[in-house]
A and B are shown apart, each in its own frame.
Chain A
Amino acid sequence: MIVSLIPAIGIPIITGFFLVHLALPNTWRGPRYAVLKWSLASGAGFGLTSCMYFTCLALGYPSFPQLLMIEGATAMSLAAACLMRSRTTSTAPSPASWNSQLHHGPGDWLIPAGFHAILLVAVATFLYRSILNPCGGWDAWGLWNLFARFIYRGGVHWKDGFTNLLATHHPDYPLLLATSVARGWKYLGKEAELVPIAIAFIFTFSTVGLLVSSLTVLKCGKQGLLAGIALLGTPTYIILGSFQYADVPLGYFFLSTFVLLGLQDMMPENPVFSFLAGIMAGLSSWTKNEGLLFLISILAASSLSMFFAGNRNKGPRQLVFLLLGIATITPVVFYFKTFIAPPNDVVSDLGTRALSNFMDPARYLQIAKSFVTLSFDTIPLFALVLFYPLFLNTGMSGCKVCKSTACGFFAALAFTLTGYFIIYLITPHDLAWHLESSMHRLLLQLWPSAIFSFLLISRFPEDALTPTESEA
C-alpha cells in the first residue's frame, strides 16, 4: 500500500514544486529556499490536483487512467517549462533580508536545538495520535472523509450526498480535503486511512516549514526557528492536525498568502508572487467557507495598504496579479456553490433573525467573553511569554517596508476576525454551542499567520534587549 501511496501523494507535491519553481527566481538556491519551495509546493500541489479532480468529476466521472493521464500531463508540462526556463540565465537577486543587524554569539545553538527537539516531539505526537485514532476527529469522518466516500463510492452518482437531507454533515462546505482524499483512494484502488493521515501530516508540518523558512528568508534564521517553536509549542495545533481537521490546511493557505505577499513587498518588480498569493488565497476558499471571508479580507487589506503605504506605482499591478491568481481557483468554488452545494445553514434565511441578533447586546458580550477565554485556552501562555521580550525596549523592527507589509497583514487578520464575529452574531444555532464547538478552531486558523506577521515587525529578543547606541 505504501508503494501505491507514493504516486498518490508524490504527484501533487511534484506538480506544486514545478509550479513554485517556475514562479520563484531560479537564483534562490540553498537549504532555506529549498524548505520554502517544498513547503509552498505541497499545499499548492494538493490544492491544484484537488481542483483538477473536481473539474474532471464535474465533466464526467473520470477513470483512473484518465486521471493519471491528466495529472501526468500537467506535471510534465510544468517540468518542461521549468527546464526551458533553467536554460535562460536569471539575473533576479536573492532577497535581501529585512533584518540587517543580526546578533551572533556563543549559545546560538540553543534555539535550533530547542526547535528540533520540539519538532521531534510534535512529529511523534502526531504519529502516535494517528495510530491511536486513524479515523480522525468528528470533522474528518463526519464531513471530509464522508464526502470522500460519496465521491469514491458513488461513481457517476457522486453528487448525491450534497443535499440538505445531510444538513448536520454540512454538505455545502468546499471540497479540497474531500476530493484530495477521494483522489488518493482512487490511486490506491481502495479506501485507506493512510491517505487522510498523510494529507493531514503534510499540511501540519508544511505550515511549520513555511513559517520557519519564510521568516528565515525575510528576517533571519533565529526569528524563523522562534516562530516554529511558538507554533509547535501550541498543543492544540498538533492535536487538530492529527484530527485531520480542515482548519490546519486553511491556516496553511492563509499563511502562504501572507508569505508570498511578504516576498512580493521585498521584490516589488516581480508580480508573480502576487499571482501565487492569489492562488493560495483562492485555495483557502476551496478548503472551508471561512476562506471566502479571508478572500474579501485580503483584497480589502491589500487595497488599503496600497494606498496608505504610498505604493501607487507597482501596487495596482500587484493587485491585478493577486486578482488573477484568485480568479484561477474561484470558478471551481463558484461552480460547486452554485450548482452542487445546498444553501449554507448560517447565511440562508437571514432576514429578521439576523436583524434581531444584531440588536442584542448580550450576544456581543457573550462572543467577546468567549473570544478572550478561548484565546487563552487555545494559544499557550508560553507562546506569549516567548514574544514578551519583543515588546521591550524598541521591540519593533526599524524596517519601514516590513512595517507597512505587516500592518496590511494585521488589517487582513482583523477583517477576518470581524467577519467571524458577525457570523457568530447571525448564527441560527445556539450561540453558546456554536462558540464552544468552533471558536478555538477559528483562532488556530489565524495563529500561524499571526505569528508570522508579529515576527515580521519584531526584532529578535536578543537585539531588542541589547542596548542601543543611544542607551550605551
Chain B
Amino acid sequence: MTGNNRPLIVKSYIMATVVANLAIVTITLAKLVSSPEIVLLQDIRQSENRFEKLKAVIPAHGIVGYVSDCADKRKARLQLSQYALAPAIIVPSAVQPLVVGDLCDGGLSEQADLMVLLSDFGRGVVLFGRKTR
C-alpha cells in the first residue's frame, strides 16, 4: 500500500463498513415480520381480557392461590395471571381461602377435594373457595 492510495482505500473501507452496518440493521427490521414476541403480546392481551371480571371480585390486596390444569406454558401462564391481577399476590397453591382456576380442560382432579367452586367467569377462568371440613 503506497501513501498516495491510502486515503482512497480508507474511504472505501469506511464506506463499506457503514453500508454493512446499515444492511445489518435493515435485515433485522425485515426479519421482524415473523417475530415470536407478537405471539407473546397476544398472550398478554388475552390474559388481561380473561381475568378482567375476576379482578373486580378478588380482594385488591392479599394473597390469592392459583391452580391450573394446562399442560402448556405453565410458568408463563402463572406469571401472566400475576401481571393481570396485580396488586393481588398470586401464589401457586390450592390452600388459600380464595384460589384462581386457570383451566384448559376443566379438570382439576388433584385439588378437587380441597376447593369449592364459587364463580365461573368463562373462558377457563374460575374462582374457588376453600372447602370447610
Contact = CB atoms under 8 A, between A and B. Distances in A.
Interface of A: 105, 107, 110-111, 114-115, 117-118, 121-122, 124-125, 128-129, 132-135, 137-138, 141-142, 145-146, 149-150, 153-154, 157-158, 160-161, 163, 165-166, 168-169, 229-230, 232-233, 235, 238-239, 243, 380, 382-383, 385-386, 389, 461-462, 465-467, 471-472
Contacts of B87: 149-150, 153-154, 157-158, 160-161
A161 B86 contact: yes
Nearest to A239: B28
Contacts of B83: 141-142, 145-146, 149
Contacts of B13: 389, 461
B10 A389 contact: yes
B25 A114 contact: no
Contacts of B9: 465
A368 to B, nearest CB: 27
B61 A380 contact: no
Nearest to B11: A107
Contact of B7 (A105, A124, A149, A161): A105
Contacts of A142: 79, 83
A160 B21 contact: no
B133 interface: no
Contact of B89 (A110, A160, A472): A160
B38 A461 contact: no
A263 B21 CA distance: 29
A233 B19 CA distance: 10
Contacts of A161: 86-87, 89
Contacts of B26: 121
Contacts of B70: none
Contacts of A160: 61-62, 87, 89
A146 B82 CA distance: 8
Nearest to B20: A382
A389 to B, nearest CB: 7
Contacts of A163: 89
B89 A165 contact: yes
Nearest to B48: A135
Nearest to B45: A135
A348 to B, nearest CB: 20
Interface of B: 3, 6-7, 9-11, 13-15, 17-22, 24-26, 28-29, 32, 35, 37-38, 40-41, 44, 60-63, 75, 79, 82-83, 86-87, 89, 91
B18 A466 contact: no
A472 B28 CA distance: 44
B28 A153 contact: no
**Chain A facing B: main interface SS:** helix
A116 to B, nearest CB: 10
A233 B41 contact: no
Contacts of B28: 125, 235, 238-239
B7 A153 contact: no
Contacts of B29: 121, 124-125, 128
A161 B89 CA distance: 7
Interface centre among B9, B26, B79, B87 (most CB of A within 10 A): B87
Given A122-B25, A161-B89, A386-B17, A132 B38 contact: yes
A38 B81 CA distance: 39
6 contacts: A110-B18, A132-B41, A135-B40, A233-B24, A383-B21, A466-B7
A444 to B, nearest CB: 15
A150 B86 CA distance: 6
A114 B18 contact: yes
B97 to A, nearest CB: 15
Contacts of A232: 21, 25
A364 B60 CA distance: 46
